Structure 1
Amino acid sequence: MVTQPELLAERAVLVHIGPYKTGTTAIQTSLHEHRPDLLEHGVTYPGRYHRQMRPSWALLGRSRVGEARVPAHEWDAMAEEVRRAAGRVVISSEDFASARPAQVRRLVDELGADRVHVLVVARRLDKLLPSAWQERVKSVNETRTYDAWLREVLGPERDGRAARTFWHNHGLSSLIGRWTSALPADRVIVLVNDEADRRLQAATFEALLGLPEGTLTPGPHANTSLSMERIELCRQVNVAAQARGWVGSRALNRPRRALLAGLRSAPLATFESLIPPLPAWTGPRLVELSDERARSVAESGARVLGDPGLLRYDAPPDAPDLADPPVVLPAAAAASAIEHTLAGVLERRARARRRAAAPAPSPRPDPLTGVSSRAILRELARRQAGRLGRLRPTSSGKASG
């Protein structure tokens, strides 16, 4: 076990797999914004976008709800860019944390089994759970309240869909094991997140990739949290979508993103509340699970950066119970959400009208229009005779041409 990151080999490929809600958006945006600086130091961040979402979906056979799977060639193209890169390479997608063993092996083989290093970020469970629930409400039609979701995820059975998804991505023992089964353990790096050190991840990437300190400054993209009032609106929309049979409809994707953009853009009202601390009933279970996670990291055999003890949890003696979901939303937030949603709908309709009104492209003229069939046959005969002439035997007995 080590405590400081070490510079990777000159042609190493650093695969950052998150998982979800461990600060991935900030580091991906910084890598994207500083692509020219990375290249100056021989580091490639493939593609053109702030994270390699579509290539990772192509590898995993995944897509947005209701949309066709991302074509396999998008992963192939990125893998080829990685293989061509002369220096160090870094790719980042939290979707890789959900890869199955066969997909892990394919990634390692196609990016170069002798080059790949994997970076996993381990975050304290009490910090992770609130963010994970909110993300599910925002993106995957989650209809359960915070309390109901926590009871499923923290229950001993882990047989519900939410529990299976959460622990597949965040169960550190199994997550690390999927990657150490495909790579030498010393090429799987576990960074224990320190909630008090906001630059820890950026500094770790800089040290691993050989970038000057301070290169990876925060970019403008933010995956901000919503208040409980605003996230409750999203949850109620999910409830309505489920009741009307809309779940899985591609048509909902753009309005959902517009709704979220509107909720994020309105200023916070004084009475709004952020996601509350974990309720008192979770304390004993969180202590048990957090101790287990700390032990699994320490005993994983992977290269551990930081102190696994930071993953442990002390239950506060005065943790409150959760209140009922809020029923009041600031008018400004509601208006902003409606405005953004309507603007998106109207813009799509306007684009559709412009496409419908656009004149059809003129057909390409037929070069044979007005030419008689006899003239066409004469031209074909002339060209055939020319070909036969070029193939006449020479004095050596071989055909010319």
Structure 2
Amino acid sequence: MTARVYLHVGAPKSGTTYLQRVLEQNRTVLADAGVLVAGERHLDRIHAAMVVREDDRLESLPPRASEAWQRLVTEIRDWRGEVAILSYELFAGASAAQAQAALADLDGIETHVVITARDFGRAVPSAWQERLKFALTTRLEDWKPKPGKAGTRSEWGWRTMDPSGVAARWGSGLPPERVHVVTVPGEAGDGQELWRRFAAACRIDVPALDPVVERANESLGVVAAELLRRVNEKVRAPITGNREQALWLRDTLAHGILVDLGREQIGVTDEQFADAEKRSRKAIAALAEAGYDVQGDLADLRASRPDARLPGDATQAELLDAAVETIVRLLLLVRERTHERDAKQGVPGVLAEDGSRLAAVGKGMLRRVTAPRLERRADDLRARIADLEAEVARSRALHLRVAELSDVVTELLLPAQDTDGRVTAKALNTYRNDSL
């Protein structure tokens, strides 16, 4: 039975994707060591966070989405091992009342809250980028993260990026030693230090675990970010709403193409830096005073400022070059999709790819764009398989019960001596006719 559960509740853009990939890659190794990685499907964790935050977007989703949190709670309670870990960054947006309601569902289990957090100054352009991927048109120079008092839908503001506020809401009913703040190391840290800090917070000591995973860099360079912002100004229906924007602006354009058009860092304005620096000092003081368990150094949270351009500094020539390259890559993507569609339909004249560099680029983009949809389909199939396996298990249990009852009937109703079996057969037939 689960004795301890660690809820990794955020924050966004604080290495959460990396940590979740390590957990997923080592799911079997951890299970063998008695540690459950809760949630077979990432989509279930997304929906569970929506349930906890009472997100009204659930009304437009299938009923299964509204049951996601309770399914995860049941999975955690039914775990045969000692420890469970549930990780998803947008739990961070929950109100104090919503967080306490979620913790109450885990009553009886020693519950810990884990919060990962990063340099406040670098969090600002990261949050702006994430909003760009959902059609934001505001220039970075004119943008401010929403304040901590904003509602639970403020997924890319100080409500989720400030660990002191997240810890106060999620940890208000917990002893301070059960609230763990894990700081993201500065650039000087090695690639696995964040995992070591997270593992220490969750008391994970599994020698066979492999923390090396492929990292997906989803950050845009300064020119690509400004190009996406300008595209957003022209985007219109049907690319509206979160689903359409996620598929076409985020997955196809931003992650599929623009991330490869340069890695130049994005700077912040004087006003943005001053605000981040002030907030970071207040957060560090609040976390230290609260007495939470800190893995890393609270100084890692202090706002720093990269020597970098602002998106508005991108020249027209740079934007034109990036736009032309984007069009070329989109053409390759359309071509690749068309060839695959025609090949599946058996259209004559479709030749095998010649292995050229452009074809390889197209295939790579296709994999990046279609991978999320294939993963969702695979998640649905895995869920269906799990349901079927559960049904098989119930059928086996029923057959065993029937066999046990038959044995009892044989012992209680049949004569001790039945050398030729005729009495036995007659009695069993009578039993079946009268009872089944």
Partner of 2:385: none
Shift of 1:283: 4.2
Residue 134 of structure 2 corresponds to residue 143 of structure 1? no
Partner of 1:262: 256
Structure 2 portions without partners, runs of 5+: 346-433
The residue type paired with residue 105 of structure 1 is Q
Partner of 1:17: 9
In structure 2, how many angstroms separate the alpha carbons of the residues matched to 1:132 and 1:315? 15
In structure 1, how many angstroms separate the alpha carbons of the residues matched to 2:173 and 2:301? 25
In structure 2, how many angstroms separate the alpha carbons of the residues matched to 1:225 and 1:351? 34
* Contact 2:124–2:145 (8 Å) recurs in 1: no
The equivalent position to 1:183 in structure 2, one of 159, 174, 180, is: 174
In structure 1, how many angstroms separate the alpha carbons of the residues matched to 2:12 and 2:122? 12
The equivalent position to 1:32 in structure 2, one of 24, 39, 42, is: 24
Shift of 1:246: 4.9
Partner of 1:68: 61
Aligned residues: 336
In structure 2, how many angstroms separate the alpha carbons of the residues matched to 1:62 and 1:184? 28
The equivalent position to 1:111 in structure 2, one of 106, 109, 121, is: 106
Residues 161-240 of structure 1: pairs in structure 2 closer than 5 A: 166-195=157-186, 196-197=188-189, 198-207=191-200, 208-213=202-207, 215-220=209-214, 222-240=216-234
CA deviation map 1:28-75 (0-9, x unaligned): 011111111111211110222357223323333448799537622222
Partner of 2:88: 93
* Contact 2:148–2:165 (8 Å) recurs in 1: no
Shift of 1:137: 0.9
* Contact 2:15–2:184 (8 Å) recurs in 1: no
In structure 1, how many angstroms separate the alpha carbons of the residues matched to 2:152 and 2:107? 34
* Contact 1:263–1:334 (8 Å) recurs in 2: no
Distance 1:273 1:76, change over 3 A: closer
Partner of 1:379: none
Provide the TM-score with structure 1 as the length reference.
0.71
RMSD: 3.8
CA deviation map 1:174-219 (0-9, x unaligned): 2211012232222111112221323222112333343335724232
Distance 1:262 1:247, change over 3 A: same
Q: Percent identity?
A: 26
Residues 36-47 of structure 1: pairs in structure 2 closer than 5 A: 36-47=28-39
* Secondary structure at 1:71 match in 2: helix
The equivalent position to 1:121 in structure 2, one of 110, 116, 122, is: 116
Distance 1:73 1:341, change over 3 A: farther
Moved more, 197-206 or 175-184: 197-206
In structure 1, how many angstroms separate the alpha carbons of the residues matched to 2:196 and 2:289? 25
The residue type paired with residue 153 of structure 1 is P
* Contact 2:118–2:184 (8 Å) recurs in 1: yes
Moved more, 129-138 or 327-336: 327-336
In structure 1, how many angstroms separate the alpha carbons of the residues matched to 2:341 and 2:254? 18
* Contact 1:142–1:235 (8 Å) recurs in 2: yes
CA deviation map 1:346-365 (0-9, x unaligned): 9899999xxxxxxxxxxxxx
CA deviation map 1:86-137 (0-9, x unaligned): 3211110001101122321222122335421011112111121121111111
Moved more, 172-181 or 13-22: 172-181
Structure with more of its chain in helix, by fraction: 2
In structure 1, how many angstroms separate the alpha carbons of the residues matched to 2:153 and 2:61? 23
In structure 2, how many angstroms separate the alpha carbons of the residues matched to 1:22 and 1:273? 18
Provide the TM-score with structure 2 as the length reference.
0.66
* Contact 1:203–1:213 (8 Å) recurs in 2: no
* Contact 1:122–1:172 (8 Å) recurs in 2: yes
